[in-house]
A and B are shown apart, each in its own frame.
Chain A
Amino acid sequence: MSELLFYAMAVIALLGGLGVIFSKSPMGSVLSLLGSFFALAVIYLLAGFHFMAAVQILVYAGAIMVLFLFVIMLLNLGGMGTRFELSAAPLTRARSQIAAAVAAGVGLAGLIAVQRASLPRIAQGGAPERIDDINQIAIALFGRYSLPFQAVSVLLLTTMVAVLVLAKRRTRESGQ
């Protein structure tokens, strides 16, 4: 049963991924991505990572995708007939084929690496100990990994300023 569910979800995730690329409208891309994320969340659940599954839904599907939708609507790309104007962009067909080849190559390399590695087998029915216990995660986050946790805050602040610098209108120029 769970095996069947896994394959079903894997197919949905892949189809969602393809939908992101091939969808004609930006809205369609976003919705495909959403479907892909939900399927992934179910796969996490099957593997016994309940917390990961919940976070996947909350953060990705909940927050990030909503942000995407907002941006698309605000920029008025959302009209169902709107198509990406790829032809005008430097993303020519040949270049996107190269990019696809690189991505596929890297993915394939990863598969080969995992397949030939000596990895311990995990017993059927999820991880042996509960590695996604929220308590444990919190203790690790504020204990062993407190420094990277704080470094992330610097990273986020810098990114926020960086984006604002690029995005805000130039109001100060004339005053100087």
Chain B
Amino acid sequence: MNAYLEGLRGLQPEIVMTITALAALVFDLLLKGRESRRVGYLTLAGLAFTAWFLLGQWGDSAPRTVFGMVAIDQFGNFFKLFTVAALAMVVLFVMHDQREREHGVGEYYFLLLGAAIGVFFMVSTNNLLLMVLGFELLSLASYSLAGFHKGDRKSAEAAMKYVIFGGLATGIMLYGMSLLYGLTGTIDLAKMGVEGGGLVTQLAKSPVPVGIAMVLILAGFAYKVSVAPFHFWTPDVYEGAPTPVTTFLAVASKAAGFGVMLRFLGAIFLRPGVADSVAAYGERIGLLLAILAAITMTLGNFAALRQTSLKRMLAYSSIAHAGYVLIGVACMTEQGFGAALYYLAAYYFMNLGAFGFLLYFEGVNGNDSVESLKGMGFKAPLISCVMVAFLVSLTGLPPTVGFYGKYLLFVEGVNQGLYWLVVVAALNSVVSLFYYLRVAKALFLAKPAEREAAPAPVLTGFVTALGVATVALGIYVLPLVAWAQRSLDVLRG
């Protein structure tokens, strides 16, 4: 088979996604805006096909590069599978939310799929050009999604803030990337750090230019994963955006940001054959990330303590979790990256579930304050019990997937001598216990509420499945650990 067809075979998931997106757009036109739910089913079918092709690549042995820039490897596969799963969840949220159905025109699905295609490209390339394109595709679709409720002032404000912050951060990142290209003479990350690569020459003369380029690029990534000091947009955008979109931003978009960060750093600093001077420089970048991690988690957790809205609280909690994941990145070792991957997987489960709960109670209560949850645990016992499992997992207590994730991160942090960071993270986990348990307390340790909670069997079913996974994977940890380790082939190839 010739190289072109071989390349197309590697891109099957992306192609299916693109076709699904176009089909969703055309289908919505044909339906003339009626029954937009059917577009949702079409989207789900497309996602199922994509997942099928992704699973086909799951068994693929050797990582390879097609079209000279798309890396087909287990690392990308890991993020793509989780993105598809998260997106399917978000689509289900959209389809089962009354308020979304009112606004729910078919473009919703098209934009979600567009954002996911962006994620696909950005996590599976070592090429700066394609990375930026994927990044932008995700960002541009997200801006519009955040402002989807046009009549809603908060939603409009969220979109506006997101655009301005996003535009600035992307601009800074692009500037850094152009500097990096100028310094190394290549846009292929894999060629930069190896012996004889551009980074070696530059570091031999002065570390400053590379440092400036790296800091600018990492600023762009930090914005995407809302790491301090680039987190300011997060609470407002998460609060203002429609809840399914918030879920997408908090889960898929953030994990994709970490995916691109891990690939960027891994491809430059951690691959085999990387020059000694470059590897040593990578450790200094790691130290910078460690400091950011400490600031981020502390800030996120303490701000979350004061929130009265569950949605805002989850927003700050997601900032704190970005700090935890950053511990693994800051280690700058294969084990550290593996722990970060594992934690991201855990993050998918517990946050998707928590947002599903939020969506359900927004529908029941009409608002998202923790106050309004009082005593509702007795009215909707199943989903509330499952929420407690998510909260336990978010805090990082056994027997949940969140606990094992934190355990892995802390162990690798200690192994790399980042004792202070692990201590800060552990103290932070204690702080987070307060605000997570406040939700559980409101649910169950109050007088049973007078109001009734309308049942939502489908939503409850999916959230419960996530809850079961959160606990089961926390007890039976090995499969997920093995998968995370296997996905690090990007560092070996």
Which residues of A in the span 136-176 have a Cβ within 8 Å of any Cβ on B? 144-148, 151-152, 154-155, 157-159, 161-166, 170, 172-173, 175-176
Q: Is the CB of B159 within 8 A of A144?
A: no
Chain A: minimal CB distance from B480 (Å): 31
List of A residues within 8 angstroms of B145 by Cβ: 162
Give the interface centre of A145, A148, A175 by most chain B CB atoms within 10 Å.
A148
Q: Is the CB of A114 within 8 A of B133?
A: no
Q: Is the CB of B136 within 8 A of A155?
A: yes
Chain B: minimal CB distance from A143 (Å): 9
Q: Is the CB of A173 within 8 A of B103?
A: yes
User: Is A109 part of the contact surface with B, judged by Cβ < 8 Å?
Assistant: yes
Q: CB within 8 A of A147: which of B67, B103, B213? A: B67
Chain A, Cβ-Cβ closest to B113: A158
A118 to B208, CA, bound (A): 11
Q: Is the CB of A162 within 8 A of B130?
A: no
Which residues of B in the span 46-77 have a Cβ within 8 Å of any Cβ on A? 67-70
User: Is B449 part of the contact surface with A, judged by Cβ < 8 Å?
Assistant: no
Q: Is the CB of A172 within 8 A of B33?
A: yes
User: Is A119 part of the contact surface with B, judged by Cβ < 8 Å?
Assistant: yes
Q: Is the CB of B179 within 8 A of A158?
A: no
Interface string of B86-116 (1 = CB under 8 A from A): 0000000000000001111101001100110
Contact A162:B151 (CB < 8 A) given known A109-B216, A154-B117: no
User: Is A106 part of the contact surface with B, judged by Cβ < 8 Å?
Assistant: yes
Q: Is the CB of B144 within 8 A of A163?
A: yes
User: Is A117 part of the contact surface with B, judged by Cβ < 8 Å?
Assistant: yes
A151 to B11, CA, bound (A): 12
Contact A147:B69 (CB < 8 A) given known A113-B208, A118-B202, A161-B107: yes
Q: Is the CB of B70 within 8 A of A176?
A: no
Looking at chain B's contact residues, the main secondary structure is helix
Q: CB within 8 A of A148: which of B133, B150, B179? A: B133
Contact A158:B129 (CB < 8 A) given known A118-B201, A170-B150: no
Q: Is the CB of A146 within 8 A of B105?
A: no
Q: Is the CB of B107 within 8 A of A165?
A: yes
Q: Is the CB of A176 within 8 A of B175?
A: no
Q: Is the CB of B182 within 8 A of A117?
A: yes
Which residues of A in the span 10-51 have a Cβ within 8 Å of any Cβ on B? none
List of A residues within 8 angstroms of B215 by Cβ: 109
List of B residues within 8 angstroms of A112 by Cβ: 208-209, 212
User: Is B137 part of the contact surface with A, judged by Cβ < 8 Å?
Assistant: yes
Q: Is the CB of A154 within 8 A of B107?
A: no
Q: Is the CB of A159 within 8 A of B111?
A: no
List of B residues within 8 angstroms of A173 by Cβ: 102-103
A118 to B150, CA, bound (A): 51
Contact A162:B141 (CB < 8 A) given known A147-B69, A155-B133, A175-B34: yes
Contact A113:B69 (CB < 8 A) given known A106-B216, A173-B103: no
Chain A: minimal CB distance from B416 (Å): 29
User: Is A121 part of the contact surface with B, judged by Cβ < 8 Å?
Assistant: no
Q: Is the CB of A159 within 8 A of B206?
A: no
Q: Is the CB of A170 within 8 A of B151?
A: yes
Q: CB within 8 A of A162: which of B121, B144, B204? A: B144
User: Is A93 part of the contact surface with B, judged by Cβ < 8 Å?
Assistant: no
Chain B: minimal CB distance from A115 (Å): 8
Q: CB within 8 A of B137: which of A117, A145, A154? A: A154
Chain B: minimal CB distance from A133 (Å): 19
A172 to B18, CA, bound (A): 26
User: Is B469 part of the contact surface with A, judged by Cβ < 8 Å?
Assistant: no
Q: Is the CB of A154 within 8 A of B114?
A: yes
A163 to B140, CA, bound (A): 9
Chain A, Cβ-Cβ closest to B117: A154
A147 to B65, CA, bound (A): 13
Q: Is the CB of A119 within 8 A of B182?
A: yes
Chain A: minimal CB distance from B169 (Å): 11
A163 to B118, CA, bound (A): 17
User: Is B134 part of the contact surface with A, judged by Cβ < 8 Å?
Assistant: yes
Chain B: minimal CB distance from A85 (Å): 16
List of A residues within 8 angstroms of B141 by Cβ: 158, 162
User: Is A128 part of the contact surface with B, judged by Cβ < 8 Å?
Assistant: no
Q: CB within 8 A of B25: which of A116, A161, A170, A175? A: A161
A162 to B136, CA, bound (A): 13
A106 to B216, CA, bound (A): 8
Chain A, Cβ-Cβ closest to B157: A90
Q: Is the CB of B213 within 8 A of A155?
A: no
A150 to B369, CA, bound (A): 45
A173 to B208, CA, bound (A): 55
Q: Is the CB of A113 within 8 A of B213?
A: yes
A-B contact pairs, 24 of them (CB 8 A): A102-B168, A106-B172, A106-B175, A106-B216, A109-B216, A110-B179, A114-B209, A116-B205, A118-B202, A119-B182, A119-B183, A151-B121, A151-B134, A154-B18, A154-B117, A155-B133, A158-B111, A161-B144, A162-B111, A162-B144, A166-B150, A166-B159, A170-B151, A176-B102
Chain B, Cβ-Cβ closest to A118: B205
Chain B: minimal CB distance from A145 (Å): 7
Chain A: minimal CB distance from B143 (Å): 7
